[in-house]
Chains A and B, each alone.
Chain A
Amino acid sequence: MSSILQINNVTKKYSNHTALNNVSLEIKEKAVFGLLGPNGAGKTSLIRIINQITGPDTGEILFKNEKLSPKHIEQIGYLPEERGLYKKMPVGEQAMYLARLKGLSKAEAKKRLIYWFEKFEMQGWWKKRIDELSKGMQQKVQFIVTILHEPQLLILDEPFSGFDPINAQLIKNEILELRKKGATIIFSTHNMGSVEELCDNIALIHKSEKILDGSVKDIRKNFRTNTYKVTFKGNVLGFTNALWTGAEILEKSSEDDVHTLTIKLLNGVTSSQMLQAVLPLCEILSFTEIVPSMNDIFIRKVNEGNEVLGTKSNYTE
């Protein structure tokens, strides 16, 4: 798969702090890319550079192997974290204006807006002013405006914040639909649940540096901790004795003679070796590997990062 965006050694400095320090990323076409990181890590700076709102101090960005330039603006759609529309302007007029700023013709913008207004059941809204709409309704308008020009690259900064679960689902489905149609989506969020659900690849930025990237699958595989959850019927003491020094018990819970243990295998013991050892002693009801969630990985990496990078704070955004 070819890449839509290639970020090479980008550095961005503000007067008293570094927002991005030598960050390189590759974003594959037709995939959902998660851009993760704690607040103030430099995500917004990177997104603004991709949107050409600001420029990098050093480094370069390639859009489909071409140097990123103003002509690419029309192929990018951007939903900022802090949403905003003109409060006093009618919805339809406003959407038309923003669509035409992205290069759509008047007729085309109108046609597409009518389609989306119908799809999102917003037909009656055209003449309403934004400040007459609820927050969720405003978010819908903003989402439509972002995708109306059918961008090849869609950058969504915390797209689900402010939506109720039903509308969040609606938006989620739209995002997946857009990917199916061939759009690439950069997805900046703290919501790790949605990362696992939606993202193919991620990059983790912390304190201006990229500390982790790759496909969600690979990352989770790499962060396996050899931890398993076993539920069995039988004697707990016998079970633990059988393991001896090959495992450490992290958690224990019992209900009658059904016991659930969370164990971490040590000293290179494999899961089959462990099962062979305990099988004669008890009846195994279930056995699953505990793969760390993206949330766990996020927290672990960020904490590691804090140790490595020291406590020097560069939190200004």
Chain B
Amino acid sequence: MSKIGLIIGREIKSKLSNKTFIVMTFLTPLIFVGAIAMIFWTSMPEKIEQNLLVIDQTGLFEQSLKGNDFITLTFSKQDIGKAQDEFPKSNYTSILFIIKGSDGNIIPQARLLYKKHPGLAFKTYIRQEMENIYYEYKLQSNNIDPAVISSARQAFDIKMDKVDETGAVNHSEGVQLFSFAMGLIMMLFILMYGMMVFRSVMEEKTNRIVEVIVSSVKPFELMIGKIIGVAIVGVIQFLATAIITSILSVVLSGIFLKEINEMKSQFDDNKQTVMKYGINAGAALKNTAQFKDNQKMFETMEQLQKIPFAKVAIFFVLFFIGGYLFYSSLLAAIGSAVDSEADSQQFMFPIMIPLMIGYFLAIKIMISPESNAVVIGSFVPFTAPIVMMARMPLDPPMWQILTSLAILYVSFILTTWLAGKIYRTGILMYGKKTSWREIGKWLFYK
């Protein structure tokens, strides 16, 4: 037993002292948070001072079009040609021409001349302001009350509630994406740490040190020590990544606090408008499209808060341990059977297939959460960790979770036992291309 401890210790130490490993542990959260920051940053309006000259032939916008903190508006009745000639030498950064239609009516068209590109946010702002003005103008000129329009065009909200055996009603909509994410993370974890075991086994075999080691410990002990060692490394890495990510997130949200508050207040404003006029009072809303996205996001977040996270977390760990042991023992067996990574392709394939099936079933959960394929998939040990985990936010019956877990754990004992037999023979076989038939025979060696 103390020898297994030594093996575990070495496995952990060798991984933790590996530079690539350390860099990856720190870099992954950095990339992750960095990417989010990037998306956030690019979606923020550019804050460049804009000095805009508006030449409005219609007269509609002169009173109603407003600037903001960065956009200063000057209205003029100047001649268009003259203004354009003087523009290069003027203080204005851009000129907006609003022309009447040929029949003298106001048409939704304008032209903007600029020196330096003012950016998309500027254009969007001006456009939305103008749209709002035009919308209200059109309604008024036709004697239509805007409230009538919005009350007529309403989005139907179908709220889906699940009634379980006891008659309790649960609202569990909007968590499908979370389900899928759970399944995906489970698959990536199993694969990542399974491959780590695979490489470690192959390294010892190609180094030829394995013969020295198995003259001191039983091959099975070596394999188990390795699998446990990598599992501990996995947990350490996971925790390190989680801690770094949360620290970075806190720092980042500190930096973007002002913007987030702005978004939030804008969202709240819009919410008020929606309450007043209904969802399609589009023109009255600031950033209509964004509002709809935000509304979905906030609703989903409300749903997510209802997921029993403690339960999900506990079962995630249990299913991860089961799934990891199940797959890593198979991968250890394969690692022992091949001489080089190139030879391993034919054996890798059958391992990847069930993982891929699990992944597709996790996608299927988003579309049809309780189909037969999904339920069966959550019991078969090859796919159970992924599929059952993806079902977890949808609150499957407890007996199904426990049965699935029990099947998985019994199966991993079986695969570990089989893998031990293959491993024992495989690690000492060199120079011969291994076939499935050959591996089958190894199972029966004494």
Within the complex, the shortest CB–CB distance from B8 to chain A, in Å, comes to 12
Within the complex, the shortest CB–CB distance from B228 to chain A, in Å, comes to 16
Question: Contact between A84 and B216 (Cβ–Cβ < 8 Å)?
Answer: no
Question: Contact between B446 and A80 (Cβ–Cβ < 8 Å)?
Answer: no
Question: Contact between A76 and B215 (Cβ–Cβ < 8 Å)?
Answer: yes
Q: A70-B218, A98-B216, A101-B3 are in contact. Are A53 and B445 (CB under 8 A)?
A: no
CB neighbours (8 Å) of A101 from chain B are 3, 6-7, 213, 216-217
- Chain B, 193-216, contact with A by CB distance < 8 Å: what is the 0/1 string? 000000000011001111111111
Report if B140 contacts A (CB, 8 A): no
Tell me whether chain B's interface is mostly helix, strand or loop, or mixed. Answer: helix
Question: Contact between B215 and A78 (Cβ–Cβ < 8 Å)?
Answer: yes
Question: Contact between A87 and B3 (Cβ–Cβ < 8 Å)?
Answer: no
Complex: A52 Cα to B219 Cα, angstroms: 10
Question: Contact between B216 and A73 (Cβ–Cβ < 8 Å)?
Answer: yes
CB neighbours (8 Å) of A89 from chain B are 14
Interface residues of A in 32-73 (CB under 8 A from B): 48, 51-57, 70, 73
Question: Contact between B211 and A53 (Cβ–Cβ < 8 Å)?
Answer: yes
Complex: A48 Cα to B208 Cα, angstroms: 14
Question: Contact between A97 and B209 (Cβ–Cβ < 8 Å)?
Answer: no
Question: Contact between A102 and B216 (Cβ–Cβ < 8 Å)?
Answer: yes
Within the complex, the shortest CB–CB distance from B165 to chain A, in Å, comes to 54
| Residue on B nearest A48 in the bound complex, by CB | B428
Complex: A97 Cα to B215 Cα, angstroms: 14
Complex: A58 Cα to B13 Cα, angstroms: 41
Question: Contact between A53 and B216 (Cβ–Cβ < 8 Å)?
Answer: no
> Which of B209, B215, B217, B441 is within 8 Å of A86, CB to CB?
B209
Question: Contact between B446 and A53 (Cβ–Cβ < 8 Å)?
Answer: no
Complex: A101 Cα to B425 Cα, angstroms: 21
Complex: A101 Cα to B219 Cα, angstroms: 13
> Which of B213, B438, B445 is within 8 Å of A54, CB to CB?
B445
Report if A244 contacts B (CB, 8 A): no
CB neighbours (8 Å) of A85 from chain B are 207, 209, 212
| Residue on B nearest A316 in the bound complex, by CB | B432
Within the complex, the shortest CB–CB distance from B125 to chain A, in Å, comes to 57
Report if A181 contacts B (CB, 8 A): no
Question: Contact between A53 and B428 (Cβ–Cβ < 8 Å)?
Answer: yes
Question: Contact between A80 and B445 (Cβ–Cβ < 8 Å)?
Answer: no
Question: Contact between A84 and B208 (Cβ–Cβ < 8 Å)?
Answer: yes
Tell me whether chain A's interface is mostly helix, strand or loop, or mixed. Answer: loop
- Chain A, 97-111, contact with B by CB distance < 8 Å: what is the 0/1 string? 110111000000000
CB neighbours (8 Å) of B204 from chain A are 86
Report if A175 contacts B (CB, 8 A): no
Report if B10 contacts A (CB, 8 A): yes
Question: Contact between B211 and A145 (Cβ–Cβ < 8 Å)?
Answer: no
| Residue on B nearest A15 in the bound complex, by CB | B441
Complex: A57 Cα to B445 Cα, angstroms: 9
Q: A80-B208, A88-B14 are in contact. Are A54 and B216 (CB under 8 A)?
A: no
| Residue on A nearest B442 in the bound complex, by CB | A15
Question: Contact between A14 and B209 (Cβ–Cβ < 8 Å)?
Answer: no
Question: Contact between A98 and B212 (Cβ–Cβ < 8 Å)?
Answer: yes
Question: Contact between B208 and A83 (Cβ–Cβ < 8 Å)?
Answer: yes
Complex: A316 Cα to B441 Cα, angstroms: 15
CB neighbours (8 Å) of B203 from chain A are 86
Within the complex, the shortest CB–CB distance from A302 to chain B, in Å, comes to 23
Report if A82 contacts B (CB, 8 A): yes
CB neighbours (8 Å) of A70 from chain B are 218
Within the complex, the shortest CB–CB distance from B202 to chain A, in Å, comes to 13
Interface residues of B in 421-446 (CB under 8 A from A): 424-425, 428, 430, 432, 438, 441, 445-446
CB neighbours (8 Å) of B210 from chain A are 84
Q: A84-B207, A85-B207, A87-B207 are in contact. Are A55 and B446 (CB under 8 A)?
A: yes
Complex: A82 Cα to B431 Cα, angstroms: 13
Q: A54-B445, A88-B14, A100-B6 are in contact. Are A82 and B208 (CB under 8 A)?
A: yes
- Chain B, 1-21, contact with A by CB distance < 8 Å: what is the 0/1 string? 001001100100110001000
CB neighbours (8 Å) of A86 from chain B are 14, 203-204, 207, 209
Within the complex, the shortest CB–CB distance from B196 to chain A, in Å, comes to 15
Complex: A149 Cα to B212 Cα, angstroms: 13
Complex: A93 Cα to B14 Cα, angstroms: 11
| Residue on A nearest B440 in the bound complex, by CB | A15
Within the complex, the shortest CB–CB distance from A45 to chain B, in Å, comes to 10
| Residue on A nearest B205 in the bound complex, by CB | A84
| Residue on A nearest B424 in the bound complex, by CB | A54
Within the complex, the shortest CB–CB distance from B337 to chain A, in Å, comes to 15
Given A54-B446, A82-B430, A146-B212, 10 extra CB contacts under 8 A: A14-B445, A52-B215, A54-B424, A54-B425, A78-B215, A80-B208, A82-B208, A85-B209, A101-B3, A101-B217
Which A-B residue pairs are the 9 nearest by beta carbons? A84-B208, A84-B209, A101-B216, A78-B215, A51-B215, A15-B441, A80-B211, A82-B208, A84-B207
Q: Can you identify 15 A-B contacts, CB atoms within 8 angstroms?
A: A52-B215, A53-B211, A54-B424, A55-B446, A73-B215, A73-B216, A80-B208, A80-B212, A80-B215, A84-B212, A85-B212, A86-B203, A101-B6, A101-B216, A142-B212
Chain A residues engaging chain B, CB cutoff 8 angstroms:
14-15, 48, 51-57, 70, 73, 76, 78, 80, 82-89, 93, 97-98, 100-102, 142, 145-146, 316
